[in-house]
Structure 1
């Protein structure tokens, strides 16, 4: 695990995984909020997802500059964060 966070790309990949996971959890907590009137889990996961999304974008910028990624690759990595399961797919195909 410590080897994963030693490089900017490793940190980016970790945050990408966590961001994707939080996106999926957000869908689950939406059901809790609207079907079972339990808004607290949605609020907590929503805040975590927002923080992870911002971290993802900042790390994407850092990694793209440091590794001199082409613009198309950066755009695809960004778009992957907007689609459920997108960061998991991008993990295998883009990074």
Structure 2
């Protein structure tokens, strides 16, 4: 994996959890708006919207650089629109990055042919 691909995956991983948190907070704010006089939906909607757009841009960059198959790319996109999906995506991306580092070190030591 080259540096740009690793960076793209790292950026996607970093935005996954905040995007998931903003989605959950937006859901809570929506419930509070309908049950109380508290209305933070416009603010949280904007925050979540910005984070979602950033996630989609980073997702597209990661897909382009990693050459994921359609199934993998669709999985990461669907995870962005599910509650708690961003947390799962972050864990999965972290695990994939760690596996790639191990494989890269093995190739560098000549243990595995590329």
What is the TM-score normalised by the length of structure 1? 0.84
State which structure, 1 or 2, has the greater radius of gyration over its C-alpha atoms. Answer: 2
| Structure 2 match to 1:3 | none
Give 1:57 deviation, angstroms. 0.8
Aligned-residue RMSD, C-alpha: 1.6
Structure 1 alignment gaps of length 5 or more: 1-5
Equivalences for residues 33-48 of structure 1 within 5 A: 33-39=33-39, 41-48=40-47
CA contact 2:26–2:45 (8 Å) conserved in 1: yes
| CA drift at 1:28 | 1.3
C-alpha contact (below 8 Å) 2:13/2:89 kept by paired residues: no
> Does the CA contact (< 8 Å) of 1:20 and 1:87 recur in 2?
yes
Q: What is the TM-score with the length of structure 2 in the denominator?
A: 0.71
Deviation at 1:32, TM superposition (A): 2.1
Structure 1 runs (4+) deviating above 2 angstroms are 90-95
SS in 2 for 1:11: helix
SS of the residue aligned with 1:37?
Answer: coil
Give the count of matched residue pairs: 89
Which residue of 1 is the match for residue 89 of structure 2?
90
Equivalent residue number for residue 31 of structure 2: 31
